[in-house]
Amino acid sequence: MDPHLRYLSRQPFVFQSPLLDQLPVDTPGVYTVSGGRQIGKTTALKQWMRRLMHDGVNPVDIAFFTGELIDDHHTLVNLVTAHLQNRTSCQYVIVDEVGYIRDWDKGIKFLADAGYLMNVELVLTGSDSVLIQEARLRFPGRRGNAEKVDFVVTPLSFRQAALLKNTIAPEEAVLMDAAPGGNTVDDGGIHGQPLPPGLVSRLFQEFERYMAHGGFLTAINDLQINGSILPATLRTYSDWIRGDFVKRGRQEAFLKEILASVLRHQGSQLSWHNLARDMSIEHPQTVADYVALLASMDVLLIQPALLEDKLVEAPRKPRKLHFRDPFIRHAVRYWLDPSGDPYHDGILADVSDSVASSVLAESVAVSHVARNFPTFYIKAAGEVDIAWVEGSRFFPVEVKWTGQLRSKELQQVRKYPNARIWSRQPEYFMAGEIPVEPLPLALWRMG
């Protein structure tokens, strides 16, 4: 059995990626699958290969190449053409981590222009968003006729993780989905039937666990098997970040400084000049380039301020930086400070600390919204944590993972008639004219 699938078979929780149902079958074209490291892209494609064979595709018509072992585009072309020789049925060729191959785009362009891919589903994977941009730029008219050719794999959402772990029963999920305005079963008012207290309590407990393991399956299974997230699991992810950074010709010392600064200022308003003042990096543009690379690798999320009248980024205002997933934050912190027990002394301490957990909760909320919509924050007389754009409108949300709602902190969000507050309170209520709903329930529906 394939080593990825053999490892998967030994885990308590096995996730079936939506990618398995999204990738087309018997539809030639050039497809991309992008997403950060260690989130299951390779395993999902191995599952897809197994499904293809189960559905009758001859195993000899499927080829899987690991880009990390291919030096350049000449070798890539030789490998693919050798596999395709004398075959007439639809072929499935997967090149995993194609970005490791020098001038890979030249090889793919040659194969397409020479007619080798006329009867081939070619799937290219990469660990940063540059892959999709490169494919769109380099291969216009060569992608095939499928409606969707670019796919993005993300860590599990809070909803996906809770369903995978069977924390929430299917009938309970239906009940929560029927409460679009809060934790009451009606159209969003406060007069409907409340959700069972036990369900709300479990939802909050599961959210605290999510702030510990995030959407990374290895961490989720670690916690189930060992009762903690192992140092080796945290170290594996940080090693990937460092390795990919160095392979791109960047300096590990600068990476360490930038990530340490993001940890200190996560969720705060920052300019590149402010970040540079904390470091030995002389030029703010260097900081901006490093942060942009980390964002393309799905390590960080850059949240700009919203220009409300145009619904675009306000270019002169500071940005906020968030880690894309709680697990990434924990892995980075352990790399920067490998002392002690990283799970009990670091992760659980953060989840139980009022200040650190508020930062974690806000970042989880921002990253969940950003999966579906362009996402900003509002900076005016006051601040609003999230403003996502949908169509010609924006929707403001204040995240309050604290015990109290202070009137002074709600001054700005009160200015918007469609505002909402996502809070730590377990019930739905109104704060003046603003609906307040439990943050875990809001993220459940957002997922």
Mean pLDDT, rounded, of the chain: 90
Q: Is the domain of 277 the same as that of 384?
A: yes
Q: Is the domain of 87 the same as that of 170?
A: no
Domain of 274 in residue numbering reads as 158-446
pLDDT of 182 over the 70 cut: no
Q: Are 150 and 121 in contact (CB under 8 A)?
A: no
Smallest CA-to-CA distance from 347 within 444, 168, 208 is with 208
Q: Is the domain of 261 the same as that of 314?
A: yes
Contacts (Cβ under 8 Å, ≥6 apart) of 286: 254, 276
Smallest CA-to-CA distance from 331 within 214, 210, 157 is with 214
| Domain finish residue from 120, 152, 184 | 152
Residue 384: burial class (beta carbons within 10 Å; 0-12, 13-18, 19+): buried
Which CATH number belongs to the domain containing residue 57 in this structure? 3.40.50.300
Amino acid at the residue 92: Y
Q: In the prediction, which pLDDT does 195 show?
A: 82
Q: Is the domain of 175 the same as that of 103?
A: no
Q: How far, in Å, are 24, 222, 302, 327, 385 from residue 363 at the CA level?
A: 34, 23, 11, 12, 10
Q: In the prediction, which pLDDT does 193 show?
A: 58
Q: How confident is the model at residue 353 (pLDDT cuts 50, 70, 90)?
A: very high
Count of helices and strands (H, E) across the chain: 18, 18
- Which tokens in the block code for residue 388? 């996502």
Q: Is the domain of 409 the same as that of 297?
A: yes
Q: In the prediction, which pLDDT does 438 show?
A: 93
- Which tokens in the block code for residue 311? 């619904």
pLDDT of 159 over the 80 cut: yes
Q: Is the domain of 144 the same as that of 185?
A: no
Which tens digit of pLDDT belongs to each residue from 202-239?
A: 999 999 999 999 999 999 999 999 999 999 999 999 99
Question: In terms of pLDDT, which residue wins out, 186 or 395?
Answer: 395
| Domain finish residue from 115, 135, 152 | 152
Amino acid at the residue 141: G
As a whole number, mean pLDDT of residues 294-313 equals 95
- Which tokens in the block code for residue 355? 């200040």
Q: In the prediction, which pLDDT does 146 show?
A: 86
Q: Is the domain of 69 the same as that of 124?
A: yes
**Beta strands 306-307; 312-313: pairing state:** antiparallel
Q: In the prediction, which pLDDT does 82 show?
A: 93
Task: Report the domain count for the chain.
Answer: 2
Q: Is the domain of 117 the same as that of 256?
A: no
Q: In the prediction, which pLDDT does 142 show?
A: 77
As a whole number, mean pLDDT of residues 70-96 equals 92
Q: Are 192 and 184 in contact (CB under 8 A)?
A: yes
Which tens digit of pLDDT belongs to each residue from 324-335?
A: 999 999 999 999
Q: How confident is the model at residue 179 (pLDDT cuts 50, 70, 90)?
A: low
Question: In terms of pLDDT, which residue wins out, 378 or 273?
Answer: 378
Q: Is the domain of 320 the same as that of 366?
A: yes
Q: Is the domain of 303 the same as that of 415?
A: yes
| Domain finish residue from 85, 119, 152 | 152
Contacts (Cβ under 8 Å, ≥6 apart) of 79: 65, 70
Q: Is the domain of 278 the same as that of 181?
A: yes
Q: Is the domain of 134 the same as that of 16?
A: yes
